[in-house]
């Protein structure tokens, strides 16, 4: 497998057209401070998600995934760097604008399906609730709720209460609640974490449908590396930084792995690559007409055999 650095346009300038990426993180930093101890949860994270894209973010527990979603959802603010979603700069937005942003621009899906559902309302009523709060008229609410459940493959669950639904169905209703007001961006934090494989596949399929049929831009976080088999683009997060990307094209091509190249030209080589060639401390670079060669540095005298 070859690793090709992706060069992506990044811009924090005011003249960027409004149809820029839906999610843009540039050198994003979040430091937690508690009783004199500092935890750097995000250390210069770069991420670009285009309008209408579905991107999976995978990483081990503690790698900073929830911290990132907390910032993108407007609950938390970055310590440094840029986070922009659908034109909203989340490092400068004031509290009222942030509330408005949370109501209109983004939808959320969490691990516990129940957290998004009211137990005494039916699935359709649950999906209607955010529309009611947004002032959508009754007939429009009912139509859109049915449409939403249909798109997510749970039309038959419309009149059932959460207790009468399986875990996977509950999570799909919760997804319906999240996209009821047709947010531009859906943020999902380990939405299949508590589900068996079959339910998990159903929920993923519903997320894909929300993306393709409703046009929602989706960032879905997971610690399950197998997810990359289901989505076109998977970004790996490690130690609070995005490291590699796997792009999967249709038509049976093998997935291609990319490394993220930041604005300063920094590139993280996959550990498996550097380990197999015993690259350490420094490498030799050669600029070729169409690529850059990376070579192990000459062995040090004590390693000579």
**Min CB(276)–Mg ion separation in Å:** 31
Tokens 């999906």 label which residue?
127
Residues from 66 through 105 that contact ligand ADP (CB under 6 A):
66-67
Tell me if 63 contacts ligand ADP by CB under 6 A.
yes
276: CB partners within 8 A, 6+ apart: none
In the list 59, 78, 81, 162, the residue contacting ligand ADP (rule: CB under 6 A) is 59
Tell me if 192 contacts ligand ADP by CB under 6 A.
no
Binding partner at 63 among ligand ADP, Mg ion, none, C-beta below 5 to 8 Å by kind: ligand ADP
What tokens were used for 72?
């993108």
Best CA proximity match to 70, nearest among 38, 35, 45: 45
Tell me if 66 contacts Mg ion by CB under 5 A.
yes
What tokens were used for 116?
């998004």
Tell me if 39 contacts ligand ADP by CB under 6 A.
yes
What's the Cα-to-Cα distance from 26 to each of 49, 141, 215, 289, rounded to whole Å? 12, 38, 24, 29
Q: Closest CB to ligand ADP among 51 and 238?
A: 238
Tell me if 62 contacts ligand ADP by CB under 6 A.
yes
- Within its chain, how far is the Cα of 57 from the centroid? 5
Contact present, 26 and 206 (Cβ < 8 Å): no
88 bridge partner residues? 85
**Min CB(159)–ligand ADP separation in Å:** 36
Tokens 């060069």 label which residue?
7
Tell me if 167 contacts ligand ADP by CB under 6 A.
no
Tell me if 44 contacts ligand ADP by CB under 6 A.
no
**Min CB(165)–Mg ion separation in Å:** 25
Q: How far apart are CA 76 and CA 258, in angstroms?
A: 29
**Min CB(66)–ligand ADP separation in Å:** 3
Q: Which residues bind Mg ion (CB under 5 A)?
A: 65-66
Q: Which residues bind ligand ADP (CB under 6 A)?
A: 32, 34, 39, 41, 59, 61-67
């Amino acid at each position: 497998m070859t690793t090709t650095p992706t060069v992506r346009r990044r811009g924090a300038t005011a003249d960027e057209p409004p149809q820029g990426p839906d999610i843009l993180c540039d050198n994003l930093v979040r430091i937690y401070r508690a009783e004199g101890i500092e935890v750097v949860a995000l250390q210069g994270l770069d991420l670009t998600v285009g309008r209408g894209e579905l991107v999976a973010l995978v990483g081990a527990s503690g790698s900073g995934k929830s911290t990132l979603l907390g910032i993108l959802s407007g609950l938390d603010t970055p310590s440094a760097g840029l986070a922009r979603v659908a034109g909203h700069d989340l490092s400068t937005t004031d509290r009222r604008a942030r509330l408005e942003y949370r109501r209109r621009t983004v939808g959320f899906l969490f691990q516990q399906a129940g957290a998004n559902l009211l137990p005494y309302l039916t699935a359709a009523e649950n999906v209607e609730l955010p529309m009611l709060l947004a002032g959508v008229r009754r007939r429009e609410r009912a139509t859109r709720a049915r449409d939403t459940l249909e798109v997510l493959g749970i039309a038959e669950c419309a009149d059932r209460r959460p207790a009468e639904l399986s875990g996977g169905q509950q999570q799909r209703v919760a997804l319906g609640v999240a996209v009821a007001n047709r947010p531009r961006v859906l943020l999902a934090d380990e939405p299949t974490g508590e589900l068996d494989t079959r339910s998990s596949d159903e929920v993923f399929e519903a997320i894909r449908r929300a993306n393709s049929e409703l046009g929602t831009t989706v960032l879905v976080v997971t610690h399950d590396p197998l997810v990359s088999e289901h989505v076109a683009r998977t970004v790996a997060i490690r130690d609070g930084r995005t490291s590699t990307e796997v792009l999967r094209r249709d038509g049976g091509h093998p997935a291609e792995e990319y490394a993220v190249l930041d604005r300063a030209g920094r590139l993280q080589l996959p550990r498996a690559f550097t380990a197999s060639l015993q690259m350490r401390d420094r490498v030799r670079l050669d600029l070729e007409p169409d690529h850059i060669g990376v070579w192990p540095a000459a062995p040090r005298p004590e390693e000579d055999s």
